[in-house]
A and B are shown apart, each in its own frame.
Chain A
Amino acid sequence: MPNTLEVSGLKTHFLMRAGVAKAVDGVDFSIAKGEVMGLVGESGSGKSITGFSIIGLIDPPGRIVEGSIKFQGEELVGAPEERLRNLRGNRIAMIFQDPMMTLNPVLRVDTQMIEALKAHQNIGKKEAWTKARDTLGMVGIPAPDERMRAYPHQLSGGMRQRVAIAIAFLNEPDLIIADEPTTALDVTIQGQIIHEAQNLCRRTGASLIWITHDLAVVAGIADHISVMYAGKIVEQGNIDDVIDRPAHPYTVGLLGSVPSANNRGQRLYQIAGMTPNILALPKGCSFKERCDRRTKTCEVSPEAVERNHRTFRCHHPYFEEVEV
């Protein structure tokens, strides 16, 4: 059986007045059935654009210029819009940071959910209503019968995000792409949302891509992790391997800069400099200007190397030298 998703050599560029923004520049990864992958990166790393590329929602000036995205063995790059529309919301669903990206403010929750069901399934209205209500209950919404009749603005932020998640899960998709779904939420609500998403994936066997800047969240839910920097995945592998024994200096820096109980009151490790300008990336390794291990070899862009169950792009990895 093929992997749920296989992305290889994906390049999504934006042709702007100021130049070509290589938002995604050669990304490879694959996700097996039922697997959770954390896609981690800072603003401008291209992590969201990667998600949008997979569901085919890149609008001009953006364009997928190269690469392949295979969903259950089917090539999505260059597939007709008709086919993509059929997959979206049906086999592949997306959850956004702002639930109002999914929800229509002038329609009631039940209308939207029934519509989403009927768009992809041959299902009676009554049956659809029942299924919609049950899904709302599944994502932990109390009194789902009442909420069905609500308009989005009558719900709190956490509730809206739950409804958006319920809509994403309605057609029991095989792949869910969650783009910073809990970033705008409070800690206790974030815990609830992660809990529901985890449960649903486990129950339906869906694969999940969790896009976020928060390493701690990824550590809590993911099987695999991909760390993006300036349009490339600089390190990916099993969650324990990458977090306990990071290879790439960027991953090491990110992990070191998270405050924790162990370093109370001490100075945090800090990565020097700023997040890079994707319109004017340096030649060679794009991290080299912020890296304290750079040498002359870094003038050449590092290829992805596979070693010790993981892939990374670095000439001078930290292998087994540093314990975090």
Chain B
Amino acid sequence: MTEVVQQDLASERQVQTIDSETPFKRFVSEFFDSKTASVALFILLSIIILAVIAPWITPQDPYDLAQVDVLDGRQPPGAEAFSGYTMWLGSDGAGRDLYSGILYGLRISLSVGVMSGFIALLIGMAVGLLAAYAGGRAENVIMRVVDLQLSFPAALVALMLIAILGKGVDKIILALVVAQWAYYARTVRASALVERNKEYVEAAACLGISHARIIFRHIMPNCLAPLIVVGTVQTAHAISLEATLSFLGVGMPQTSPSLGVLIANGFEYMLSGRYWISVFPGIALLVTVVSINLVGDHLRDVLNPRISTGGGKAK
């Protein structure tokens, strides 16, 4: 019953919006309706800022071997390093300050996650749009490849690729892209199929506008909303996948540790009571991934017109 009332109000709302907000403003105000999502976004932004300004707020550059002193190794949180600063989160086996290590690790994890997510998004979007617009046999072939890709666990695909390609940041990004593009392709195709049959696409065809322009100027912008949602969630996924690979020892090299490497390094000390080496990077990873997911979840609610509460929320 509520639905009908909502529909009726929706038709009433259509009139109401006439002189009010832009879509973006409404989106923003709806997003901040959720406290959880607002807090998650705040945390996420803080993490990103911390990661970006890491070199200026950390006492040590964990990549610079000259600054790392093995004698500082395995110090508990709060210990003082030989060079005089306090290691608030302790240090790992190699003598890296964990606070510095985590922030630098976040830089790597975030950039690998975002880069691979972005490239996968571009590839997936192009493939998905093409499949939806072309239809017929081309669509069939493309979507069967996507299905095949999706039937393998992403971690397995990435592991196999790393095994073939070897180590390195570029290789990891490539592996993550290959493991993820299919999700984007499937999402874009689904929404492009819906959009393709809408009357505004027929109108564009009627106006003699070229296929390429219809795809990129008309259909694509209308498919972006679900893509942004999948994008955030997949980026979180990419970050944890990278951590997994690094933890297994096939990811980032020891010399430039990501969060996964730090966790792996601390793992052997867990039973000897030096919990901090694994736990603090673990918490950082957890908080990052969870906050991205919360933001993504709420984005889905706000961007999906069917779930969206619109303006009909009680004060």
Contact = CB atoms under 8 A, between A and B. Distances in A.
Interface of A: 14-18, 21, 23, 43-44, 48-49, 52, 57-62, 96, 98, 101, 179, 274-280
Given A60-B314, A61-B314, A277-B18, A44 B12 contact: yes
Nearest to B30: A17
A21 B12 contact: yes
B16 A277 contact: yes
Interface of B: 1-5, 8-9, 11-12, 15-16, 18, 20, 29, 311-315
A60 B2 CA distance: 9
Contacts of B18: 277
A18 to B, nearest CB: 5
Question: Which of A44, A179, A275 neighbours the largest number of chain B CB atoms within 10 Å of its CB?
Answer: A44
Contacts of B314: 15, 60-61
B4 A280 contact: no
B312 A52 contact: no
Contacts of A16: 9, 311-313, 315
B4 A17 contact: no
Question: Which of A14, A15, A274, A278 neighbours the largest number of chain B CB atoms within 10 Å of its CB?
Answer: A14
B315 to A, nearest CB: 5
B8 A49 contact: yes
A93 B15 CA distance: 31
List the 3 closest pairs (A to B, CB-CB), nearest first.
Answer: A44-B12, A61-B314, A43-B11
6 contacts: A18-B16, A18-B311, A43-B11, A101-B1, A278-B12, A278-B16
A39 B33 CA distance: 37
B13 to A, nearest CB: 8
B167 to A, nearest CB: 52
A96 B4 contact: yes
A27 B312 CA distance: 23
Contact of A52 (B5, B15, B315): B5
Contacts of B5: 48-49, 52, 57-59, 62
B301 to A, nearest CB: 16
A219 B227 CA distance: 50
Nearest to B15: A277
Given A277-B18, A280-B16, 19 more contacts: A16-B313, A16-B315, A18-B311, A21-B16, A44-B11, A44-B12, A44-B15, A48-B8, A57-B5, A58-B5, A59-B1, A59-B5, A61-B314, A61-B315, A98-B4, A179-B4, A276-B15, A277-B15, A278-B15
Contacts of A52: 1, 4-5
Nearest to A101: B4
Contacts of B312: 14, 16, 61
A48 B313 contact: no
A16 B313 CA distance: 6
A177 to B, nearest CB: 12
Given A23-B9, A49-B8, A96-B4, A17 B15 contact: no
Nearest to B21: A18
A158 B29 CA distance: 42
A61 B2 CA distance: 10
A260 B80 CA distance: 93
Contacts of A274: 15
A43 B4 contact: no
B12 A43 contact: yes
Contacts of A18: 16, 20, 311
B315 A17 contact: yes
Given A52-B4, A59-B1, A17 B313 contact: yes
B93 to A, nearest CB: 54
Given A14-B312, A15-B314, A61-B312, A279 B4 contact: no
B215 to A, nearest CB: 33
Contacts of B315: 15-17, 61
B2 to A, nearest CB: 5
A61 B313 contact: yes
Contacts of B313: 16-17, 61
Nearest to A98: B4
A276 B12 CA distance: 9
B131 to A, nearest CB: 29
A220 to B, nearest CB: 24
